[in-house]
Structure 1
Amino acid sequence: MPDHLSQAVQPAGTWAEATDSCTLTYDDRFLRRKVLHSDGGVSILLDLPKTTSLDHGDALLLEDGRLVEVIAAEEDLLRVSGDNLARLAWHIGNRHTPCQIAADHLLIQNDPVIGHMLEHLGATLDPVSAPFTPEGGAYGHGRTHSHEHGHTAHDH
Protein backbone atom coordinates (compact mmCIF):
# COMPACT_ATOMS: atom_id res chain seq x y z
CA MET A 1 0.00 0.00 0.00
CA PRO A 2 1.48 3.39 -0.99
CA ASP A 3 2.37 5.90 1.73
CA HIS A 4 0.58 8.82 0.02
CA LEU A 5 -1.95 9.69 -2.66
CA SER A 6 -1.60 12.41 -5.30
CA GLN A 7 -4.46 13.33 -7.58
CA ALA A 8 -3.16 16.69 -8.79
CA VAL A 9 -0.11 18.24 -10.41
CA GLN A 10 1.12 21.78 -9.82
CA PRO A 11 2.80 23.10 -13.00
CA ALA A 12 6.41 24.29 -12.84
CA GLY A 13 6.67 27.89 -11.69
CA THR A 14 3.38 27.86 -9.75
CA TRP A 15 4.62 26.50 -6.44
CA ALA A 16 7.27 27.53 -3.92
CA GLU A 17 8.76 24.63 -1.96
CA ALA A 18 8.77 20.85 -2.20
CA THR A 19 9.51 18.44 0.64
CA ASP A 20 10.79 15.65 -1.63
CA SER A 21 11.52 14.90 -5.27
CA CYS A 22 10.82 12.13 -7.75
CA THR A 23 13.32 11.58 -10.56
CA LEU A 24 11.74 10.12 -13.71
CA THR A 25 12.80 9.49 -17.30
CA TYR A 26 10.97 11.12 -20.19
CA ASP A 27 8.99 7.94 -20.85
CA ASP A 28 8.17 7.52 -17.14
CA ARG A 29 6.81 11.11 -16.98
CA PHE A 30 3.87 10.17 -19.25
CA LEU A 31 1.27 8.55 -17.00
CA ARG A 32 -2.13 8.58 -15.37
CA ARG A 33 -2.21 6.02 -12.56
CA LYS A 34 0.97 4.55 -11.15
CA VAL A 35 2.84 3.96 -7.90
CA LEU A 36 5.94 6.16 -7.86
CA HIS A 37 8.84 6.10 -5.43
CA SER A 38 10.26 9.44 -4.36
CA ASP A 39 13.98 10.10 -4.08
CA GLY A 40 13.40 10.16 -0.29
CA GLY A 41 11.96 6.63 -0.31
CA VAL A 42 8.24 7.47 -0.05
CA SER A 43 5.74 5.56 -2.20
CA ILE A 44 3.06 7.65 -3.87
CA LEU A 45 -0.04 6.47 -5.70
CA LEU A 46 -0.45 8.96 -8.52
CA ASP A 47 -4.07 8.85 -9.69
CA LEU A 48 -4.74 11.62 -12.21
CA PRO A 49 -8.04 12.18 -14.05
CA LYS A 50 -6.35 11.78 -17.45
CA THR A 51 -3.03 10.70 -18.91
CA THR A 52 -0.58 13.55 -18.36
CA SER A 53 2.91 14.45 -19.47
CA LEU A 54 4.78 15.63 -16.39
CA ASP A 55 7.45 18.25 -17.01
CA HIS A 56 10.70 18.83 -15.16
CA GLY A 57 9.82 21.21 -12.32
CA ASP A 58 6.18 20.19 -11.95
CA ALA A 59 5.12 19.04 -8.49
CA LEU A 60 2.84 16.26 -7.29
CA LEU A 61 0.37 17.57 -4.71
CA LEU A 62 0.00 15.00 -1.93
CA GLU A 63 -3.25 14.53 -0.02
CA ASP A 64 -1.72 16.23 3.04
CA GLY A 65 -0.75 19.36 1.06
CA ARG A 66 2.97 18.62 0.68
CA LEU A 67 4.62 18.82 -2.74
CA VAL A 68 6.99 16.39 -4.45
CA GLU A 69 9.05 17.95 -7.25
CA VAL A 70 9.33 16.11 -10.57
CA ILE A 71 12.96 15.92 -11.76
CA ALA A 72 13.94 14.88 -15.29
CA ALA A 73 16.34 11.94 -14.96
CA GLU A 74 19.59 11.70 -16.87
CA GLU A 75 19.18 9.44 -19.89
CA ASP A 76 21.29 8.07 -22.72
CA LEU A 77 20.72 10.54 -25.57
CA LEU A 78 22.21 11.54 -28.89
CA ARG A 79 23.53 15.08 -29.31
CA VAL A 80 22.84 16.00 -32.94
CA SER A 81 24.81 18.75 -34.63
CA GLY A 82 25.55 19.71 -38.20
CA ASP A 83 25.74 22.47 -40.79
CA ASN A 84 21.97 22.51 -41.44
CA LEU A 85 20.38 22.06 -38.02
CA ALA A 86 16.95 23.21 -39.26
CA ARG A 87 16.91 20.46 -41.91
CA LEU A 88 17.95 17.86 -39.34
CA ALA A 89 15.22 19.07 -36.96
CA TRP A 90 12.67 18.81 -39.77
CA HIS A 91 13.57 15.17 -40.43
CA ILE A 92 13.41 14.36 -36.70
CA GLY A 93 10.00 16.01 -36.42
CA ASN A 94 8.76 14.33 -39.58
CA ARG A 95 9.29 11.00 -37.79
CA HIS A 96 7.44 12.24 -34.68
CA THR A 97 10.60 11.78 -32.63
CA PRO A 98 10.73 13.82 -29.40
CA CYS A 99 13.45 16.44 -29.70
CA GLN A 100 15.05 18.94 -27.31
CA ILE A 101 16.24 22.01 -29.21
CA ALA A 102 19.23 24.20 -28.35
CA ALA A 103 20.84 26.96 -30.42
CA ASP A 104 23.71 24.76 -31.66
CA HIS A 105 22.45 21.19 -31.26
CA LEU A 106 19.47 18.89 -30.83
CA LEU A 107 18.97 16.12 -28.29
CA ILE A 108 17.03 12.95 -29.06
CA GLN A 109 16.66 9.58 -27.39
CA ASN A 110 19.35 7.13 -28.43
CA ASP A 111 17.55 5.48 -31.35
CA PRO A 112 19.95 3.70 -33.76
CA VAL A 113 17.51 3.89 -36.71
CA ILE A 114 16.97 7.64 -36.37
CA GLY A 115 20.70 8.10 -35.69
CA HIS A 116 21.61 6.23 -38.89
CA MET A 117 19.19 8.38 -40.91
CA LEU A 118 20.67 11.58 -39.43
CA GLU A 119 24.23 10.48 -40.20
CA HIS A 120 23.19 9.97 -43.84
CA LEU A 121 21.91 13.56 -43.79
CA GLY A 122 25.33 14.81 -42.63
CA ALA A 123 24.70 15.05 -38.90
CA THR A 124 27.37 14.55 -36.27
CA LEU A 125 26.11 12.35 -33.42
CA ASP A 126 27.62 12.24 -29.95
CA PRO A 127 26.25 10.01 -27.20
CA VAL A 128 25.55 12.01 -24.02
CA SER A 129 23.89 11.46 -20.68
CA ALA A 130 21.57 14.33 -19.73
CA PRO A 131 18.03 15.12 -18.57
CA PHE A 132 15.63 14.94 -21.52
CA THR A 133 13.02 17.69 -21.79
CA PRO A 134 11.90 17.82 -25.43
CA GLU A 135 9.68 20.43 -27.03
CA GLY A 136 5.98 19.98 -26.40
CA GLY A 137 4.66 20.67 -29.87
CA ALA A 138 2.16 23.10 -31.33
CA TYR A 139 -0.20 22.90 -28.35
CA GLY A 140 2.39 23.62 -25.67
CA HIS A 141 3.60 21.12 -23.12
CA GLY A 142 3.08 17.42 -23.51
CA ARG A 143 3.52 14.70 -26.03
CA THR A 144 3.13 15.28 -29.73
CA HIS A 145 2.71 11.65 -30.81
CA SER A 146 -0.84 11.49 -29.48
CA HIS A 147 -3.60 13.92 -28.67
CA GLU A 148 -2.43 14.43 -25.08
CA HIS A 149 -1.16 17.96 -24.75
CA GLY A 150 -0.36 18.30 -21.06
CA HIS A 151 -1.08 21.56 -19.26
CA THR A 152 -3.13 23.42 -21.85
CA ALA A 153 -6.64 24.77 -21.97
CA HIS A 154 -7.04 23.37 -25.48
CA ASP A 155 -9.25 20.29 -25.60
CA HIS A 156 -9.93 18.08 -28.61
Structure 2
Amino acid sequence: MTDLPVARHLLHHAPDRVSDTVVLNYDARLMRRKRLVGRDGLAFLVDLAEVTNLDDHWGFALDDGRAVAVEAAPEDLIEVRGDLARLAWHIGNRHTPCQIGADHLCIRRDHVIEAMLAYLGAKLTPVTGPFRPEGGAYGKGRTMGHDHGDHSRAHHSHA
Protein backbone atom coordinates (compact mmCIF):
# COMPACT_ATOMS: atom_id res chain seq x y z
CA MET A 1 0.00 0.00 0.00
CA THR A 2 1.15 3.55 -0.62
CA ASP A 3 0.60 6.82 1.20
CA LEU A 4 0.75 8.65 -2.12
CA PRO A 5 -2.42 10.02 -3.70
CA VAL A 6 -3.50 7.89 -6.66
CA ALA A 7 -4.61 8.99 -10.13
CA ARG A 8 -7.05 6.46 -11.57
CA HIS A 9 -8.83 8.92 -13.85
CA LEU A 10 -7.75 11.39 -16.51
CA LEU A 11 -9.09 14.86 -17.19
CA HIS A 12 -10.01 16.12 -20.64
CA HIS A 13 -10.20 19.81 -19.66
CA ALA A 14 -8.44 22.09 -17.19
CA PRO A 15 -10.19 22.34 -13.81
CA ASP A 16 -10.50 25.60 -11.84
CA ARG A 17 -7.51 24.72 -9.66
CA VAL A 18 -4.28 22.89 -10.49
CA SER A 19 -2.02 21.46 -7.77
CA ASP A 20 1.05 20.72 -9.92
CA THR A 21 2.31 19.88 -13.40
CA VAL A 22 4.27 16.84 -14.58
CA VAL A 23 6.60 17.39 -17.54
CA LEU A 24 7.01 14.21 -19.61
CA ASN A 25 8.72 13.38 -22.88
CA TYR A 26 6.93 11.54 -25.70
CA ASP A 27 7.84 8.05 -24.47
CA ALA A 28 6.85 8.83 -20.88
CA ARG A 29 3.42 10.11 -21.97
CA LEU A 30 2.38 6.52 -22.73
CA MET A 31 1.72 4.80 -19.40
CA ARG A 32 -0.51 2.70 -17.21
CA ARG A 33 1.11 2.55 -13.77
CA LYS A 34 3.93 4.76 -12.55
CA ARG A 35 5.07 6.99 -9.71
CA LEU A 36 5.37 10.60 -10.85
CA VAL A 37 6.61 13.80 -9.24
CA GLY A 38 5.35 17.18 -10.39
CA ARG A 39 7.47 20.23 -11.11
CA ASP A 40 6.55 21.64 -7.66
CA GLY A 41 7.25 18.36 -5.83
CA LEU A 42 3.83 16.69 -5.61
CA ALA A 43 4.41 12.92 -5.75
CA PHE A 44 1.57 10.61 -6.79
CA LEU A 45 0.92 7.17 -8.25
CA VAL A 46 -0.72 6.72 -11.64
CA ASP A 47 -2.85 3.57 -11.72
CA LEU A 48 -4.90 3.55 -14.92
CA ALA A 49 -7.06 0.65 -16.15
CA GLU A 50 -5.00 0.31 -19.35
CA VAL A 51 -1.98 1.73 -21.12
CA THR A 52 -2.98 5.23 -22.17
CA ASN A 53 -1.58 7.94 -24.40
CA LEU A 54 -1.59 11.03 -22.18
CA ASP A 55 -1.48 13.30 -25.26
CA ASP A 56 -5.23 12.65 -25.54
CA HIS A 57 -5.87 14.10 -22.04
CA TRP A 58 -5.32 17.36 -20.14
CA GLY A 59 -4.04 15.75 -16.94
CA PHE A 60 -4.72 13.57 -13.90
CA ALA A 61 -7.55 13.59 -11.36
CA LEU A 62 -6.12 12.43 -8.01
CA ASP A 63 -8.32 10.43 -5.64
CA ASP A 64 -8.04 13.22 -3.05
CA GLY A 65 -9.65 15.75 -5.43
CA ARG A 66 -6.52 17.51 -6.66
CA ALA A 67 -5.64 17.90 -10.34
CA VAL A 68 -2.23 17.57 -11.97
CA ALA A 69 -1.55 18.90 -15.47
CA VAL A 70 0.54 17.05 -18.08
CA GLU A 71 3.00 19.09 -20.15
CA ALA A 72 5.09 17.81 -23.06
CA ALA A 73 8.80 18.13 -22.26
CA PRO A 74 11.18 19.75 -24.75
CA GLU A 75 13.09 17.15 -26.77
CA ASP A 76 15.90 17.15 -29.34
CA LEU A 77 14.14 17.07 -32.71
CA ILE A 78 14.95 17.51 -36.36
CA GLU A 79 12.80 19.73 -38.57
CA VAL A 80 12.44 18.26 -42.07
CA ARG A 81 11.69 20.38 -45.16
CA GLY A 82 11.56 19.47 -48.82
CA ASP A 83 9.28 17.18 -50.83
CA LEU A 84 7.09 16.48 -47.79
CA ALA A 85 4.89 13.79 -49.32
CA ARG A 86 7.92 11.76 -50.42
CA LEU A 87 9.82 12.35 -47.19
CA ALA A 88 6.77 11.50 -45.04
CA TRP A 89 6.36 8.24 -46.96
CA HIS A 90 9.97 7.24 -46.20
CA ILE A 91 9.64 8.26 -42.52
CA GLY A 92 6.41 6.25 -42.22
CA ASN A 93 7.94 3.28 -44.00
CA ARG A 94 10.48 3.15 -41.14
CA HIS A 95 7.66 3.34 -38.56
CA THR A 96 9.18 6.52 -37.14
CA PRO A 97 6.82 8.80 -35.19
CA CYS A 98 6.41 12.07 -37.10
CA GLN A 99 4.88 15.42 -36.21
CA ILE A 100 3.24 16.98 -39.26
CA GLY A 101 3.20 20.74 -39.81
CA ALA A 102 1.79 22.71 -42.73
CA ASP A 103 5.24 23.29 -44.26
CA HIS A 104 7.52 20.82 -42.44
CA LEU A 105 7.79 17.50 -40.64
CA CYS A 106 9.42 16.93 -37.27
CA ILE A 107 11.00 13.74 -35.90
CA ARG A 108 13.17 12.90 -32.92
CA ARG A 109 16.91 13.05 -33.55
CA ASP A 110 18.13 9.80 -35.14
CA HIS A 111 21.38 9.85 -37.12
CA VAL A 112 20.32 6.92 -39.33
CA ILE A 113 16.97 8.47 -40.33
CA GLU A 114 18.62 11.88 -40.72
CA ALA A 115 21.22 10.41 -43.13
CA MET A 116 18.46 8.78 -45.18
CA LEU A 117 16.48 12.03 -45.34
CA ALA A 118 19.56 14.05 -46.31
CA TYR A 119 20.27 11.52 -49.09
CA LEU A 120 16.70 12.07 -50.30
CA GLY A 121 17.32 15.84 -50.51
CA ALA A 122 15.65 16.99 -47.29
CA LYS A 123 16.73 20.19 -45.59
CA LEU A 124 17.29 19.25 -41.91
CA THR A 125 17.40 21.70 -39.00
CA PRO A 126 17.99 20.67 -35.36
CA VAL A 127 15.33 22.14 -33.05
CA THR A 128 14.21 21.67 -29.46
CA GLY A 129 10.58 21.54 -28.42
CA PRO A 130 7.67 19.37 -27.37
CA PHE A 131 7.17 16.32 -29.59
CA ARG A 132 3.56 15.58 -30.51
CA PRO A 133 3.63 13.24 -33.50
CA GLU A 134 0.64 12.13 -35.52
CA GLY A 135 -1.13 9.20 -33.86
CA GLY A 136 -1.09 5.70 -35.30
CA ALA A 137 -4.17 4.14 -36.81
CA TYR A 138 -4.04 1.08 -34.52
CA GLY A 139 -2.03 2.09 -31.46
CA LYS A 140 -4.35 4.06 -29.15
CA GLY A 141 -3.13 7.34 -30.58
CA ARG A 142 0.46 6.18 -31.01
CA THR A 143 2.57 5.01 -33.91
CA MET A 144 3.29 1.44 -32.95
CA GLY A 145 6.47 0.24 -34.65
CA HIS A 146 7.40 -3.37 -35.08
CA ASP A 147 10.47 -5.52 -35.61
CA HIS A 148 11.65 -6.05 -39.19
CA GLY A 149 13.54 -9.18 -38.14
CA ASP A 150 12.67 -12.71 -39.19
CA HIS A 151 8.90 -13.06 -38.99
CA SER A 152 6.22 -14.69 -41.07
CA ARG A 153 4.86 -12.73 -44.01
CA ALA A 154 1.49 -14.28 -43.22
CA HIS A 155 1.22 -11.80 -40.35
CA HIS A 156 2.71 -8.70 -42.02
CA SER A 157 4.15 -7.74 -45.35
CA HIS A 158 5.54 -4.61 -46.96
CA ALA A 159 4.93 -6.08 -50.42
Listed one character per residue, the Cα deviations across residues 72-124 of structure 1 (whole Å, up to 9, x for unaligned) are: 00000011111x11111111111111111101111101011111111111111
Q: Deviation string for 1:31-71 (max 9, x for gaps)?
A: 11110111110111101111111117621110012211100
Rg larger for: 2
Q: Which runs of 4+ in 1 moved over 2 A?
A: 14-19, 137-141
**Which AA in structure 2 matches 1:9?**
L
Contact 2:74-2:128 at 8 Å conserved across structures: yes
User: What residue identity is the alignment partner of 2:65?
Assistant: G
Equivalent in the alignment of 1:52? 52
Q: 1:36–1:45: 8 Å Cα contact kept in structure 2?
A: yes
Alignment of 1:1-150 (within 5 A): 1=2, 3-11=4-12, 14-17=13-16, 18-55=18-55, 58-82=58-82, 84-138=83-137, 142-145=141-144
* TM norm structure 2: 0.83
**Amino acid aligned to 2:71:** I
Counterpart code for 2:115? H
Which structure 1 segments of 5+ residues have no match? 147-156
Percent identity at matched positions? 52
- The alpha carbon displacement at 1:140 in A equals 8.6
For structure 2, the 5+ residue unaligned runs are: 146-159
1:145–1:85 CA distance, 2 compared to 1 (3 A): same
Q: For residues 8-33 of structure 1, what are the alpha-carbon distances to aligned partners after superposition, in whole Å with 9 as ceiling and x for unaligned?
A: 1123xx34333221100001111111
Counterparts of 2:88 and 2:140, CA distance in 1 = 18
Q: CA RMSD in A?
A: 2.0
Q: Structure 1 residues 141 and 103 mapped into 2: Cα distance closer, same or farther (>3 Å)?
A: farther
